[in-house]
Amino acid sequence: MATINDNYLKLKAGYLFPEIARRVNAFAQANPDAQIIRLGIGDVTEPLPDACRHAMIQAVHDLGDRTTFKGYGPEQGYVWLREKIAVHDFQARGAAIEADEIFISDGSKCDTGNILDIFGRNNIIAVTDPVYPVYVDTNVMAGNTGEANDKGEYGGLVYLPVTAENNFTAEIPQQKVDLIYLCFPNNPTGATATKEHLKDWVNYARSQGSIIFFDAAYEAFITDPELPHSIYEIEGARECAIEFRSFSKNAGFTGTRCALTVVPKTLTAKAADGSNIELWKLWNRRQSTKFNGVSYIVQRGAEAVYSEEGQAQIKALVSFYLENAQIIRQQLTSAGLKVYGGVNAPYVWVKTPAGLTSWEFFDKLLQTVNVVGTPGSGFGAAGEGYFRISAFNSRENVEVAMQRITEKFSINFP
Ligand SMILES: *Cc1c(COP(=O)(O)O)cnc(C)c1O
């Protein structure tokens, strides 16, 4: 009889988004006239930049001509794309990353999970709480955790709480951890990290021989010139960090699929015999074996992000979402709510008023103003008492939702 990977049985059934859908559907059925506005989504809403679309159309034509046709591309991605990324996203910011340290992929979601392939099963792993659920669930699947307790915390993981009390930046752990997941600007809290905060992490990681997984999916939303976009802007990060980037949120590629992972050649970890092994070699081997590259068409689309028009268009796209975030911040504040994030990030993290739990606030918002957000507790126990509002939406939806909240939502609940 075939057997399964029993680790999958430890997974808490995808609870958050199905439960949101269940409550919204029940409400919609009971109130068929309600115009429900969904501000819970983590997906982009605006169309692909023209520059990317035109490049993809041209790429389709290339494939239609036998002299320019492309079959399998390099598993690591085309050199012309990797070089542009190295220059624009890293070297221009003083981060010494070379094109051959960049691996193109079809998503940061898969890469943040797949990266565990090249690490041992005995590492001590730290995640923030609240957290992007992919980091946790992929460790459960890989067998790196025990069972979940009733708060949804898995045995064996080190949870680093991030709340208003620590300004949404995790304290450096007292104990030794081997792998650390950091996400800045953060999903779900919208928090950012200063150079000093990242320096503390890099120093910790180097002193312990740990590896930082740095998820920079939202770096394009950084407007404050003092904030680092890449962990490699910090000295020593080439010796302790892997960075994940994506074209999903800056260029609207959530459905098109293109991302990248940076594995510096100077990064090593220990083999069972105690020798230091270059992680670049392992990731290169892993990708060459299990991955056959991102389509030529999509990589040409991603390349166009670095053209003059492309840069202007993605800037406009990001500014549009940031203006949404600004409207959300302003209106929620004037409705008497305490808000965080949403300045260098597309997420606004709201403190629930009057001691409501995240789910109580969810129900209240749905019932009184027909607006849907995401309960903070769904991202981890320390997210209880918070609520995520996404700026990924049309201007009209944001304005109507905020108008309803300022006009009809009372925080002085009976
Ligand atoms: C959206 C998002 C990504 C990007 O994932 P893709 O698979 O590249 O679309 C990565 N990390 C976080 C935290 C995200 O929210």
Q: Which of 258, 256, 255, 161 lies closest to 217, judged by CA?
A: 258
Q: Which of 16, 43, 15, 23 lies closest to 371, judged by CA?
A: 23
Give yes or no for residue 261 CB within 6 A of ligand 1: no
**Which 3 state secondary structure label does DSSP give 15?**
coil
Q: Verify that 277 and 173 share a domain, yes or no.
A: yes
Task: Report the separation in Å between the CA atom of 190 and the middle of ligand 1, taken as the mean of its atom positions.
Answer: 14
Give yes or no for residue 215 CB within 6 A of ligand 1: yes
Cβ-proximal residues to 163 (8 Å cutoff; 6+ apart), any chain: 382
Q: Which of 187, 253, 258, 374 to mutate to test the pocket of ligand 1 (most atoms within 8 A of CB)?
A: 187
Question: Is 1 within the bounds of a domain?
Answer: no
Residue 413 has pLDDT above 60, yes or no: no
Amino acid (one-letter) located at 289: T
The CATH code of the domain that includes 400 is 3.90.1150.10
Give yes or no for residue 391 CB within 6 A of ligand 1: no
The reply, when asked if residue 257 is annotated as ligand binding, is yes
Q: Verify that 236 and 264 share a domain, yes or no.
A: yes
For residue 74, give both structure tokens.
């390099």
For 298-355, the pLDDT digits (tens) are: 999 999 999 999 999 999 999 999 999 999 999 999 999 999 999 999 999 999 999 9
Q: Verify that 175 and 226 share a domain, yes or no.
A: yes
Domain boundary among 238, 272, 306: 306
Q: Verify that 161 and 261 share a domain, yes or no.
A: yes
Q: Which of 244, 207, 211 lies closest to 229, judged by CA?
A: 244
Question: Is 414 within the bounds of a domain?
Answer: no
State the average pLDDT over residues 88-102: 97
Give yes or no for residue 20 CB within 6 A of ligand 1: no
Task: Report the separation in Å between the CA atom of 215 and the middle of ligand 1, taken as the mean of its atom positions.
Answer: 8
Residue 21 has pLDDT above 80, yes or no: yes
Give the C-alpha distances (Å, rounded to integers) separating 390 from 223, 341, 342, 394: 18, 11, 9, 11
Output phi, psi for 183, to 5 deg. -135, 110
Question: Is 332 within the bounds of a domain?
Answer: yes
Strands 241-246 and 347-351: unpaired
Rounded CA gap, 338 and 352, in Å? 8
DSSP codes joined into one string, 184-218: SS-TTT-----HHHHHHHHHHHHHHT-EEEEE-TT
Domain boundary among 306, 336, 365: 306
Give yes or no for residue 213 CB within 6 A of ligand 1: no
The two most distant CA atoms of the chain are separated, in Å, by: 73
Q: How many domains does the chain have?
A: 2
Rounded CA gap, 144 and 71, in Å? 38
Give yes or no for residue 214 CB within 6 A of ligand 1: no
Give yes or no for residue 104 CB within 6 A of ligand 1: no
Task: Report the separation in Å between the CA atom of 246 and the middle of ligand 1, taken as the mean of its atom positions.
Answer: 7
DSSP codes joined into one string, 132-178: -HHHHHHHHHTT-S--B-TTSPBTTEEEEE--GGGTT-PPPPSS--S
Which structural domain, as residue segments, surrounds residue 173? 51-306
Give the pLDDT confidence score for residue 7 in this predicted structure.
97
Domain boundary among 306, 340, 360: 306
Q: pLDDT-based confidence at 412, cuts 50/70/90?
A: low
Q: pLDDT-based confidence at 117, cuts 50/70/90?
A: very high
Question: Is 272 within the bounds of a domain?
Answer: yes
Q: Which of 111, 119, 253, 128 lies closest to 183, judged by CA?
A: 128
Task: Provide Rg for the chain, Cα atoms.
Answer: 22
For 261-280, the pLDDT digits (tens) are: 999 999 999 999 999 999 99
Q: pLDDT-based confidence at 150, cuts 50/70/90?
A: confident
The reply, when asked if residue 108 is annotated as ligand binding, is yes
Give the pLDDT confidence score for residue 157 in this predicted structure.
97
Residue 414 has pLDDT above 70, yes or no: no
The reply, when asked if residue 154 is annotated as ligand binding, is no
Give the pLDDT confidence score for residue 411 in this predicted structure.
66
pTM of the model: 0.97
Give yes or no for residue 163 CB within 6 A of ligand 1: no
Give the pLDDT confidence score for residue 12 in this predicted structure.
84
Question: Is 349 within the bounds of a domain?
Answer: yes
Taking all residues of the chain, what is their mean pLDDT, rounded to a whole number? Answer: 96
Q: Verify that 257 and 298 share a domain, yes or no.
A: yes
Q: Verify that 263 and 161 share a domain, yes or no.
A: yes
Task: Report the separation in Å between the CA atom of 109 and the middle of ligand 1, taken as the mean of its atom positions.
Answer: 5
**Which 3 state secondary structure label does DSSP give 36?**
coil
Question: In this structure, are residues 107 and 257 in contact, taking their beta carbons and an 8 Å threshold?
Answer: yes
The reply, when asked if residue 292 is annotated as ligand binding, is yes
Give yes or no for residue 169 CB within 6 A of ligand 1: no
Amino acid (one-letter) located at 80: W
Question: Is 364 within the bounds of a domain?
Answer: yes
Question: Is 412 within the bounds of a domain?
Answer: no
Task: Report the separation in Å between the CA atom of 248 and the middle of ligand 1, taken as the mean of its atom positions.
Answer: 7
Give the pLDDT confidence score for residue 137 in this predicted structure.
95
Amino acid (one-letter) located at 341: G
Question: Is 293 within the bounds of a domain?
Answer: yes
The reply, when asked if residue 168 is annotated as ligand binding, is no
Q: Verify that 152 and 210 share a domain, yes or no.
A: yes
Q: Verify that 76 and 181 share a domain, yes or no.
A: yes
Using a pLDDT cut of 90, give the percent of the chain over it.
95
390, containing H or E segment: strand 386-390
Residue 284 has pLDDT above 60, yes or no: yes
Give the pLDDT confidence score for residue 287 in this predicted structure.
98
Rounded CA gap, 79 and 83, in Å? 6
Q: Verify that 194 and 282 share a domain, yes or no.
A: yes
Q: Verify that 137 and 32 share a domain, yes or no.
A: no
Burial 139-158, CB ≥16 within 10 A → b, else e:
bbbbebbeebeeebbbeebb
**Which 3 state secondary structure label does DSSP give 388?**
strand
The CATH code of the domain that includes 264 is 3.40.640.10
Q: Verify that 264 and 338 share a domain, yes or no.
A: no
The reply, when asked if residue 109 is annotated as ligand binding, is yes
Q: Verify that 38 and 61 share a domain, yes or no.
A: no
